[in-house]
Structure 1
Amino acid sequence: MPKVKDFYHRIEIIDECFRQKGKKWSIDALLKAVNQKLLDRYDDTVSKRTVQYALDYLINEKAAPIKKAKQGAKVYYFYDDANYSIKTLPLTDEEIVLLKDAVELIKQIGSASIAQDLVSVIAKLENTIAKNPIADRTIIQFERQTTATGLEFMDDLFTGVKEKIVLKITYQPFGKEPYDQLVHPYLLKEYRNRWFLIARDDKHNTLCNLALDRMKSVKPTKGAFTENDLFDPATYFNNLIGVTFPLDEAVSNIVLKVKKAQAPYITSKPIHFTQETEGPFSDGSILVKLKLINNYELRSVLLSYGADIEVLEPESLREQIKLIFQTGNLIYE
């Protein structure tokens, strides 16, 4: 599957060729010129079919003024408007600065590859419009997160979701052998600096989530894509922490008792947006009420507060947390 940035490299080169005033291009001459520039810049080449696809994209998606002229048996392509370029964009200097600020934020979040792509895009915008000095000081800084493996598949997965391509993924759960799985990709979801693909399992026709750090390869297929009728991305995670949705698990009314020491922290930074609080009471504690699915991620969050949180309801969740504490206590006896 071609990466998005590689596709736009080809588009830019074709645009450069067509901007040579008075010159008309046969498909063979265009292919030769594109491959020469790709080889010089990116050590890459493409097929005639790929160049034809790029031409179709410019004509049908970008409404580029590309005309055809037949001379004998050959067809030649050229810009009908000598002043046209795909690089002619209606952006102001102020908008360039805002884009730079956005890149700095993305760098802080930790998506280095996306940030680098955006830096490249902004550099091209600057060449088109104006020059702006790059900021030489840090204004905002986030906590540095470690980066999980698997992000090398992000471009291919993003393209699969966007272009509705059935993917063949070689997947290896921790401690198990790898296997191939056909999926219809619907959504890329981030949780605590790990990325997951939410997709339809082609074999079972059910929803699945696949962690990128357990993917070994991602390949496109020519299978017919099935549209998403399994979940609504806008609401699916409303009562969920993380990405794990246990089968046959309904939303629970969860009640927690939070000790005085943690009460102001949980009040100022809620566990979840469904959170409601009561108190404080005479001992400084508060009650926290949540409407959530009981899953692994929820239990992990609750356990992170140690003995400062007590689960009051539901009883099933209380017993699960109790058992985890008891088991952990045995390790230190």
Structure 2
Amino acid sequence: MPTNKNALTRYKYLDEMLSDRHHFYDIHDLTEKCNEKLIDAGFPEVSQRCIEKDINYLEYDPFYAEIERYRVNGHRCIRYKNPSFTIFRKELSEEESNLILEVLNTIGQFDGLAHFEWLDCFKIGLGLKKRPRIISFSNNPYLQNSNLLGVLFDNISNQVVIKLEYHTFTDKEAREIIFHPYLLKQYNNRWYLIGAADNDGKILNFALDRIDAVTALPEVKYKPCNEDLAERFEDIIGVTLYEDRDVEHILFWVSNHSKDYVGTKPIHGSQCQYKNEKDEEFRRQYPSLDEGAFFSIDCIPNYELIRELCSFGKELIVLSPSSIQDDIFNRIKSMLDSYSVVRI
């Protein structure tokens, strides 16, 4: 491949790293990461001396980049003096501008959050005028620690390891963990941080309202997630995954009052409604359940599943497996006992 294309590719990767304010790169880091990307792009590796010459070249005509050298933990690091500087400039087309404006307006639910100030600046820079929203997402304005959303978004997008200080509902004593953040997930109007523990790589989740403090640790090497987290949540409802439990086939009946609601808003992605011969078979098996409809889902049992099934009250009855039926029965019995004590 031509040398000039190789050089342009190196400049592109160096430009990204020199403007990065979330990591500290010395010349060894810049060389290593640049070579990783060159190899992925089908180019040969280059020497550290080559990268040094590239950086020096960026400081002169035609780029005139202001580059600063500074020390962190004994390492001589390198970066652009102005983090917004780039040697590559491209004007947005009208179509691109309009698309970005629509996206920004759609994600406007994050307005006012710490670390999302750039969103407002971006809107101003693109000339976005205030206008009524035409899409509204479910949002909890009283969510504790919602200001952490911006901080965690920033750390995830820039692949920065963090130290979490947190507490549980049952134990108010603060705990600490070195954490590799991967994903922010919303469930039931609460936000959860999904990531891996630094010591053993185990995937964990933390509710934002249980997090007391977040400290960035850019000096710790970030370990990217080696699995598709979307697949991890395919077999569960909510965010709690018990890796020692298997997927269960759960059969349940729903009354006429709720069957259309459940049919159009599935409890889980695997939901199936039985009709024709299978429906007739279940009606012979459960003669007391007239009308209504029979459904099934395939997922791993957890707290969120039981709570979701219980939320329909008498309109939904779990028929199998017996383990989940027992969990719901015991919860209902406990509720009845509690109400029996306080009922006037």
Q: What TM-score, normalized to structure 2?
A: 0.66
Q: Helix, strand or coil for the counterpart of 1:196?
A: strand
Q: Helix, strand or coil for the counterpart of 1:113?
A: coil
Query: What code does the residue aligned with 2:80 have?
Result: A
- Aligned counterpart, 1:266: 262
- Aligned counterpart, 1:155: 150
Residue 179 of structure 2 is aligned to residue 183 of structure 1: yes
- Tell me how far 1:97 sits from its aligned partner: 4.3
The answer to whether the Cα contact below 8 Å between 1:239 and 1:292 also exists between their aligned partners in 2 is yes
- Aligned counterpart, 2:140: 145
Deviations 1:101-137 (A, max 9, x none): 4344334xx43336764343121022xxxxx6543x4
Report the Cα distance in structure 2 between the residues aligned to 1:100 and 1:322, rounded to whole angstroms. 51
The answer to whether the Cα contact below 8 Å between 1:103 and 1:119 also exists between their aligned partners in 2 is no
Q: Report the CA distance shift for 1:140/1:161 in structure 2 as closer, same or farther (over 3 A).
A: closer
Return the match for 1:223 from 220, 225, 231.
220
Specify every segment of 5 or more residues in structure 1 that has no aligned partner in the other structure, as ranges: 1-5, 9-23, 29-48, 65-85, 127-131
Q: Helix, strand or coil for the counterpart of 1:164?
A: coil
Specify every segment of 5 or more residues in structure 2 that has no aligned partner in the other structure, as ranges: 1-19, 23-63, 69-74, 284-289
Residue 329 of structure 2 is aligned to residue 331 of structure 1: no
Report the Cα distance in structure 2 between the residues aligned to 1:96 and 1:25, rounded to whole angstroms. 27
Q: Helix, strand or coil for the counterpart of 1:197?
A: strand
Residue 94 of structure 2 is aligned to residue 63 of structure 1: no
**Which range moves more in the overlay, 310-319 or 218-227?**
218-227
Report the Cα distance in structure 1 between the residues aligned to 2:239 and 2:161, rounded to whole angstroms. 21
- Aligned counterpart, 2:44: none
Q: What TM-score, normalized to structure 1?
A: 0.68
- Tell me how far 1:202 sits from its aligned partner: 2.2
- Aligned counterpart, 1:90: 92
Query: What code does the residue aligned with 1:89 have?
Result: E
- Tell me how far 1:26 sits from its aligned partner: 7.1
Residue 309 of structure 2 is aligned to residue 314 of structure 1: no
Report the Cα distance in structure 2 between the residues aligned to 1:26 and 1:264, rounded to whole angstroms. 64
- Tell me how far 1:286 sits from its aligned partner: 0.9
Any residues of structure 2 matched to 1:1-333 within 5 Å, and which? 53-55=79-81, 62-64=86-88, 86=89, 89-92=91-94, 95-107=96-108, 110-113=109-112, 117-126=118-127, 133-135=129-131, 137=132, 139-142=134-137, 145-176=140-171, 177-221=173-217, 222-229=219-226, 231-279=227-275, 283-333=290-340
**What is the percent sequence identity of the aligned residues?**
27
Q: Helix, strand or coil for the counterpart of 2:232?
A: coil
Report the Cα distance in structure 2 between the residues aligned to 1:200 and 1:245, rounded to whole angstroms. 14
